């Protein structure tokens, strides 16, 4: 047997003896790696007299190809064995009864989103949605945030790395960009709400990097602040199930509305329990205002002809207030015990006929 054939069968024996993937990889390196045995042979070619190089080179290549295909064949066998072993060890007996404590439920945020949608649907609002990954135009520019304005940074925006064209996408910081998408895609009048996830780089007892908002938008030829007040007071009355609703509108600033306000609702806290109605506290609920003419213009709508109002509110906070959840971060900790305590039955879907909560 030639020296090469002997090396080949030696390596092939090692390959068949390799009992798992790391062992096989060690054989591969010792044969074909930079300092491996076959690679070593190839390096000696240069020292041979020119007339011998061709034949010797071909003989070494035969060894290399044989080793390579033996490695590949063994790899498939070992991978299949590894998979079979994993499948066997991770096998789950589906006929076993479920662990009794792991009881699921509808998350309070989703329950409250459904309540909000049911209330506004009854008032003739439709539901619009948009993407979580947005661009600067929809999240800021079209909403009348001045270019390079600190407000863009104030939102604690999560930016993606720029793509090959230098365009920097972001995770939407609010549901307001769906106002823009809806107004560009359709013709006025509009009467819609936008439930959705939003993202800001912020985390403490009352902030989580992901949370939920519902945006509202009404555009027609005559909509005014009085309508806004009625719509929102009617919503609060239905949502907190009380006829006793007093609101106050505090002047505020948002780039996309003029005038802008924050709306508070009168309430009381008795033994830590919230009661909407009479009382000496105010609950800050949402931001709102008349849609800025620049926003309408950015969507191709003539502000001389159309006008309207908008608002945005945090859903998770409303869920905490209504159902007594103390810490926002627990809402998204994915703890089954928390969910079985605060969650809702899947059969308790809110609708106007059977009640909201």
Q: What is the contact surface with ligand DAH in residues (CB under 6 A)?
A: 174, 176, 215, 254, 257, 287-289, 310-312
Backbone φ and ψ of 92, nearest 5°? -115, 135
**Least Å from the CB of residue 151 to ligand DAH:** 10
Residue 103: CB atoms within 10 A of its CB come to 13
Backbone φ and ψ of 339, nearest 5°? -70, -35
- For ligand DAH, the closer of residues 217 and 245 by Cβ is 217
* Rg of the Cα atoms in the chain: 33
- For ligand DAH, the closer of residues 8 and 144 by Cβ is 144
**Least Å from the CB of residue 343 to ligand DAH:** 27
- For ligand DAH, the closer of residues 157 and 257 by Cβ is 257
Q: Which of 294, 313, 263, 289 is nearest to 183 (CA)?
A: 294
**Least Å from the CB of residue 256 to ligand DAH:** 6
Integer angstrom CA distances of residue 140 from 129, 174, 336: 17, 10, 37
- For ligand DAH, the closer of residues 74 and 155 by Cβ is 155
How far is it, in rounded angstroms, from Cα 74 to Cα 56? 27
- For ligand DAH, the closer of residues 287 and 343 by Cβ is 287
Which residue number is nearest to ligand DAH in terms of Cβ? Answer: 312
How far is it, in rounded angstroms, from Cα 55 to Cα 66? 17
- For ligand DAH, the closer of residues 4 and 158 by Cβ is 158
**Least Å from the CB of residue 196 to ligand DAH:** 11
Distance of alpha carbon 85 from the chain centroid: 35
**Least Å from the CB of residue 180 to ligand DAH:** 11
**Least Å from the CB of residue 19 to ligand DAH:** 59
- For ligand DAH, the closer of residues 194 and 331 by Cβ is 194
User: HSE (CB half, 13 Å, CA atoms) of 132?
Assistant: 10
Beta-strand (E) ranges in 178-306? 190-199, 210-220, 247-254, 257-270, 273-276, 281-291
How far is it, in rounded angstroms, from Cα 307 to Cα 320? 34
* Cβ atoms 113, 319 nearer than 8 A: no
**Least Å from the CB of residue 287 to ligand DAH:** 3
């Amino acid at each position: 047997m030639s020296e090469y054939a002997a090396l080949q069968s030696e390596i092939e024996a090692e390959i068949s003896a390799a009992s798992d993937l790391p062992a096989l990889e060690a054989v591969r390196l010792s044969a074909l790696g930079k300092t491996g045995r076959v690679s070593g042979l190839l390096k000696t070619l240069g020292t041979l007299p020119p007339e011998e190089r061709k034949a010797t080179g071909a003989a070494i290549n035969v060894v290399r190809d044989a080793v390579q295909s033996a490695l590949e064949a063994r790899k498939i066998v070992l991978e299949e064995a590894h998979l079979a072993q994993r499948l066997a060890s991770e096998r789950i007996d589906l006929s076993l009864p479920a662990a009794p404590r792991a009881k699921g439920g509808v998350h309070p945020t989703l329950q409250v989103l459904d309540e909000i949608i049911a209330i506004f649907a009854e008032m003739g609002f439709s539901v619009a949605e948009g993407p979580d990954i947005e661009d600067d135009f929809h999240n800021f520019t079209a909403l009348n945030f001045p270019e390079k304005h600190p407000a863009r940074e104030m939102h604690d925006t999560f930016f993606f790395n720029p793509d090959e064209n230098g365009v920097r996408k972001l995770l939407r910081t609010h549901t307001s960009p769906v106002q823009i998408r809806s107004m560009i895609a359709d013709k006025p009048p509009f009467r819609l709400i936008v439930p959705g996830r939003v993202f800001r780089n912020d985390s403490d007892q009352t902030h989580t990097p992901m949370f939920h908002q519902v945006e509202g938008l009404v555009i027609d030829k005559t909509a005014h602040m009085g309508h806004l007040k009625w719509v929102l007071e009617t919503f609060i009355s239905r949502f907190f199930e009380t006829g006793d609703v007093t609101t106050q509108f505090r002047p505020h600033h948002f780039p996309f509305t003029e005038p802008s306000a924050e709306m508070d609702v009168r309430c009381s806290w008795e033994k830590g329990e919230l009661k909407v109605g009479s009382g000496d506290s105010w609950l800050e609920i949402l931001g709102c205002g008349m849609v800025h003419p620049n926003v309408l213009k950015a969507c191709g709508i003539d502000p001389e002809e159309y006008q309207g109002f908008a608002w945005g509110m945090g859903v998770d906070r409303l869920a905490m207030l209504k159902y007594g959840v103390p810490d926002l971060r627990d809402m998204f900790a994915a703890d089954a015990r928390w969910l079985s305590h605060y969650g809702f039955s899947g059969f308790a879907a809110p609708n106007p006929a059977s009640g909201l909560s």
